Structure 1
Amino acid sequence: MAIGWMTALKVIPWGDVIEATPGIVKSARKIFTRSQQAEEAATTPATAGDPSARIAQLEASLAELAEQQKASAQLIETLAEQNARIVEAVETLRVRTRVLIVVSSLLSIACVALAAWRLA
């Protein structure tokens, strides 16, 4: 079973994964920072006296949330693409493993038959 995992790790396009990792980490940090700022902004009291200022603050908060949602969607899309590549690589590995099992079984049978023939 360990051989299967080692082969799986070799089949995965690690160059692509490593290349995309800094961008994913950067996006995740931006999303985290924005969500922290949004939480802080939500806890700060709005101007109680001026409704137009309060509306402007709410519109700014709504625009920020829309931006965060867009960034989150892009990050999820990138992660989904990487996941699809890994699943594809694992599927390729599964097919190769089955072929190797069949070939090794046939070779084993041929060796046993040859040994039996030589002994007879």
Structure 2
Amino acid sequence: MAVAWLKVLKAVPWSDVIAAAPQVANGARKLWDTVGRKQGAPGAMGEEAIMPAQAMGDDGVALLAAHIEQQDVAIAQMHNQLREASKLITELADQNAQLIAKMEAARGRLQVVGVIAAAGLVVAFVSLVLVLART
């Protein structure tokens, strides 16, 4: 199973992922800023807009006004959910960018360890050849 994961991880174009990480984070920030700027959430229609309809005494208009008020509340709740979701997306994009940076650093360290191990192997092989040549 680990071999399958290694194949998948090797198939990922990490340089493209690393190059795209800042763009993803910036896009998430723009989304957060766009949603955050829309503070004029629906529901600003206060009691003054509903009172004239109720003062008329017409049940149909009062029901319609109540329905509109319910819809405004629902839209305001959805707007808040959208704002929270965009905040979460921004946080996830930032975490993704940090994770990719750490993975790139770990990959670099692993390459250094590989080079050192290869150099050690070459030194060991040369030492073995020299020892065998003397005997």
Aligned position for 1:62: 75
Return the letter of the residue paired with 1:101.
G
User: Which residue of structure 1 lines up, in the alignment, with residue 124 of structure 2?
Assistant: 111
Instruction: Percent identity, please.
Output: 27
TM-score normalised to structure 2 length: 0.49
Give the distance between the partners of 2:66 and 2:95, measured in 1 at CA.
44
| 2:110 maps to 1:97 | yes
| Residue 91 (structure 2) pairs with residue 88 (structure 1) | no
CA distance in structure 2 between the aligned counterparts of 1:60 and 1:108, rounded to whole angstroms = 70
**Unpaired runs of at least 5, structure 1:** 2-47
**Among residues 88, 98, 114, which one is paired with 1:75 in the alignment?**
88
Q: Calculate the TM-score normalised by the size of structure 1.
A: 0.55
Q: Which amino acid aligns with 2:129?
A: A
Deviation >2 Å, runs of 4+: none
Whichever of the two has the greater Rg, that structure is 2
- Any stretches of 5+ residues in structure 2 without a counterpart? 3-58
> Cα offset for 1:62?
0.8
What is the CA RMSD across the aligned residues, in angstroms? 1.9
Distance 2:129 2:69 in 1: 89
Residue by residue over 1:13-36, the C-alpha shift from the partner in whole angstroms, topping out at 9 and shown as x without a partner, is xxxxxxxxxxxxxxxxxxxxxxxx
In structure 2, how many angstroms separate the alpha carbons of the residues matched to 1:65 and 1:106? 60
Deviations 1:88-117 (A, max 9, x none): 111111111111111110111012112212
Where relative contact order (Cα < 8 A, 6+ residues apart) is larger, the structure is 1
